[in-house]
Structure 1
Amino acid sequence: MKRYKIFFDIEKEEQWLNEQLQKGYRCTNTSGFGVYTFEKTDKKYVMRLDYQDYLSKKKYEEYKGIYEDFGWHYINGSWLGGIQYWQKEDDNQNEIFSERQSKSNYYKRLMGYSSSLCVLLLFVSYLLFKDSGLYLTEGLWSMEGSLFWKALLFETPFALLRLLPALMLVFFGFSFYKAYRKYSMLKE
C-alpha cells in the first residue's frame, strides 16, 4: 500500500507513522516527496524519527551501527543530513534517545535546521518583494469593472505563489520556537 502525505513537523510525521503501525501497516520505505510504502503485518512495531545534520560516511555508518545494535531497523535517510527513519518490533524499550542530553541535542539540531530554513526563506521573500508588491499586473488597481475582476482573478494564483516563501517562513519560525521550548525545558 502506498500513501501520499507531506509533513513539515517531524513529531507529527512520527505520530502518523505510529498510527499506521497500530492499524497493522508497517512502513517499508519513504521518499522525499511524501510517498510512504506500507505492508500489512501481524507484529507490533514502533517507529522513531531522528534528525541528523551532515555526517561523514564513516560517522554515518557508526551512527547506523549504534541503532542497529539496539534492535532498530533502518528504513530511510541520508548521510547528507535530514530525517532518519527507524523501526523495530515493540519491546517496551522504544525510545531512541536514552538520556536527557541526547534528546536535548536532538532539539538543538531541529532548531538549527529550522533557523537555517528561516534565513533562506527570508532572503527569498526579500528578493520577491523588494521592488514590487504582491500583484505585478501594471495598473491593476486603476482598472474598472469586469476588466479589473478578470485581471485580479488571473493574477491571484501567481500572487499566492509569491507569498508562499513568506508563509513558509512563518511556519518554520514556529517550528523553531517549538523546538526551542522543548530544548529549554530539557535544559532546566
Structure 2
Amino acid sequence: MKKYKFFTNFDEEENWLNDMARQGYRFTKKTSFGYEFEPEKPENATIKMDYRTFKKREDFEDYCALFEDSGWEHITGTKSSGYQYFKKADKQGSEEIFSDVDSKAGRYKRLSDMWATLACSFIPILAALISTDAIDPGVLLDPKSLYYTPGLWDLNGAAFWRGFLFETPFALFRGFFWLIFPVMIMTYLYFAFKANKQYKKTQEDKITRK
C-alpha cells in the first residue's frame, strides 16, 4: 500500500508512522513522493528519524551499524537520500535514537541547510533565463501579456470569448513555465525557514529544561 504525504516536522512524521503501525501497516520504504507499507499485525512500534547524507558508502554502513548496536533497526534510507528511518528493535532500549538534545536538533539544521542549498542552486538558473529573455518577470504585473493573439483585448462578445478560451491553455502553460523557478525558490526557502525554526525551538526546549 502506498500513502502520499509531506511533512516538514520530524515529530509529526514519526507519530504518523507509529500510528500506521498500530493500525496494522508496517512501514517499508520512503519514496520521493510518499510511503510504502505492508499489511501486518498491529503493533506499538517506535519509529524515529534522522536526516544525514554521506559521501562514502563505508561511512553510511558504519552509521547504520552504530544505531543497530544501540538497538535500532534501519528501515529505509540511502547514503544520499538524507532521510533515515529507524525502528526500535530492542524493547529494553531507549525510546530515543539521540543521546542529547543537540543531536536531535542537528537533524533540523541539516535539513534546513539542504533546502536553502536547493533554493540557492536555482537562483543562477532563474537569473540566466531572465537575462536571455526566456522568462519575462513582467507577467507578474501584467498577466495579459501571456496572451499573444493580436487585438484580443479589443474584441467584444463572442469573438472575444472564442479567442480568450482558445488561447488560455497556452497562456497558462507559458505562465507556469515562467513561474516555476520563482515558485520553487520561494518554496524551498519556506521549507528551510520552517526547519530552521524547529531547530531553534528544539534548542530553546533544551534551555528551558535546565
TM-score band (shorter)? 0.7 to 0.9
Corresponding residue number in structure 2 for 1:139: 148
**The residue matched to 1:147 in structure 2 has which SS?**
helix
For normalisation by structure 2, the TM-score amounts to: 0.73
Contact 1:47/1:86 (<8 A) preserved: yes
Corresponding residue number in structure 1 for 2:180: 164
Deviations 1:11-34 (A, max 9, x none): 254343223123221112233342
What is the letter of the counterpart of residue 147 of structure 1?
G
Figure out how many residues of one structure are paired with residues of the other and give that number. Answer: 187
After superposition, the Cα gap between the structure-2 partners of 1:175 and 1:22, relative to the gap in structure 1 and judged at 3 Å, is same
**The residue matched to 1:167 in structure 2 has which SS?**
helix
Contact 1:50/1:106 (<8 A) preserved: yes
**The residue matched to 1:174 in structure 2 has which SS?**
helix
After superposition, the Cα gap between the structure-2 partners of 1:158 and 1:98, relative to the gap in structure 1 and judged at 3 Å, is farther
Distance in 2, Cα, partners of 1:157 & 1:13: 34
* Higher radius of gyration, 1 or 2: 2
Corresponding residue number in structure 1 for 2:115: 114
After superposition, the Cα gap between the structure-2 partners of 1:21 and 1:98, relative to the gap in structure 1 and judged at 3 Å, is same
Matched, 1:153 2:152: no
RMSD: 2.9
5+ long unaligned stretches in structure 1:
none
After superposition, the Cα gap between the structure-2 partners of 1:141 and 1:123, relative to the gap in structure 1 and judged at 3 Å, is farther
Distance in 2, Cα, partners of 1:70 & 1:115: 32
Contact 2:75/2:85 (<8 A) preserved: yes
What is the letter of the counterpart of residue 166 of structure 1?
P
- In the TM superposition, residue 86 of structure 1 has moved relative to its aligned partner by 1.3
- In the TM superposition, residue 52 of structure 1 has moved relative to its aligned partner by 0.6
What is the letter of the counterpart of residue 2 of structure 2?
R
